[in-house]
Amino acid sequence: MREVRTQVLLVGKLPPGVKTWSHNKGPQFHLFSLFEELPRRRLEVRFGKFSLADFFDQNAVGSDTHFQFTYWTVDQNGAWDYAADTRGYTVGVVVDYQDRDWEFRFAEVLMPKVANGIDLVWKPWQAHSENWQYELRRGFIPKKLGVVRALAYTNYANKGIYRDAVAQFEEGQVPVPEITDHPWHITRKYGFGINTEQNLSHYLTAFGRFGSNNDKTESFCFTEVGQTFAGGLGANGALWHRRFDRAGAVFVSNAISKDHQTYLAYGGYGFLLGDGALNYGREKIVETYYTAHLWRGIYLAPGIQHVNNPGYNRDRGPVLVPSFRLHLEF
């Protein structure tokens, strides 16, 4: 169950039964919380099994695949290789300090044994992940709501290094480079990201993400992205007299490092990528959607994605991916 903790910037009346919270208008409310009201200044501690993506890098315009975009480097920062098992969960603790116009959040969690694996390493002194996020609830445009979130992370796990795998291949030790062909050893992956939202008008919000990681160490949990940029717009249907509808458009560009490119070009495989060769090009995606509220808890959402160089390979695509979602709430 996802706890919605982002500031809703798309102004307009929400469907019956949907609650959110505001930092500048009276008491705060939490969706799926046992508390009806919370103080503006507070310290929150959570521990157990959860998804880091429910607490970090949230965005009111580009984080909800039920009603918004579906491409996963729009839903999350693609360069944030956040700790998770195959199903997207980890175990650990999240500490969050909330103030009137800002907050700081930290998480210490476990890493999986292998890339995208279902089993976690229950030795946090060996394999572990740290995540930090600072959120400033202030816009770039005077007198208009906005949010800026700065994210950083470090992952320690039994991960290979692309340059070492390439060296093994070039020395003739293996027929193809294999990122998992190494004895148990702990290596580090680190990165950062920026996440922004900005109201442009009463019904229109711009958003963007930028992220980068060292991408010399094996991609391990989320996806194989070394650098990402995403920018787009979200609109509230009240603008065209459909107050429960919403629509959006976004452009995304993803890249990987030279070491990662060479590994794939020599025929190496990651936990997601591998064509046996690589004619490298940045991956570029355009996505649009429209979510229509039909009646009570019934929504229909057609959408389309145009993907250039899928998997960073110029020999693949472009690909046109239509989608159609039915969302029911009871």
What pTM, to 2 d.p., does this model score? 0.87
For residue 318, whether the previous peptide bond is cis, meaning omega lies within 30 degrees of 0, is: yes
pLDDT digits (tens, 9 = 90+) for 47-82: 999 999 999 999 999 999 999 999 999 999 999 999
- Encoded tokens for 277: 């060769």
Answer whether residue 122 shows pLDDT above 60: yes
Alpha-carbon distance of 309 to 315, in angstroms, equals: 7
Alpha-carbon distance of 63 to 248, in angstroms, equals: 12
The predicted model gives 313-322 an average pLDDT of 95
Answer whether residue 296 shows pLDDT above 50: yes
SS3 content of the chain, % helix, strand, coil (to 5): 10, 40, 50
Measured over the CA atoms of residue 74, residue 205, residue 4 and residue 305, the dihedral's sign is negative
The predicted model gives 223-248 an average pLDDT of 96
CA 73 to chain centre: 6
Answer whether residue 2 shows pLDDT above 70: no
The predicted model gives 289-313 an average pLDDT of 96
Per-residue pLDDT band at 263 (split at 50, 70, 90): very high
**Structural domains of the chain, ranges and CATH numbers in brackets:** 42-328 (2.40.160)
pLDDT digits (tens, 9 = 90+) for 8-47: 343 333 343 333 333 333 344 455 467 778 788 999 999 9
Question: What pLDDT shows up at residue 15?
Answer: 40
3-state secondary structure at position 310: helix
Q: Give the DSSP H or E segment for 46.
A: strand 42-50
Q: What residues does 40 pair with on adjacent strands?
A: none
Question: What pLDDT shows up at residue 186?
Answer: 96
3-state secondary structure at position 330: coil
Percent of the chain with pLDDT over 90: 85
Alpha-carbon distance of 206 to 136, in angstroms, equals: 16
What single string gives the DSSP state of each residue in 137-163?
---SSTTS-EEEEEEEEEEEES--BHH
Question: What pLDDT shows up at residue 257?
Answer: 97
Question: What pLDDT shows up at residue 30?
Answer: 52
3-state secondary structure at position 293: strand
Question: What pLDDT shows up at residue 8?
Answer: 37
Average pLDDT, the chain: 89
> Angle formed by the axes of helices 162-170 and 258-265, to 10°?
40
Question: What pLDDT shows up at residue 33?
Answer: 64
The predicted model gives 210-231 an average pLDDT of 96
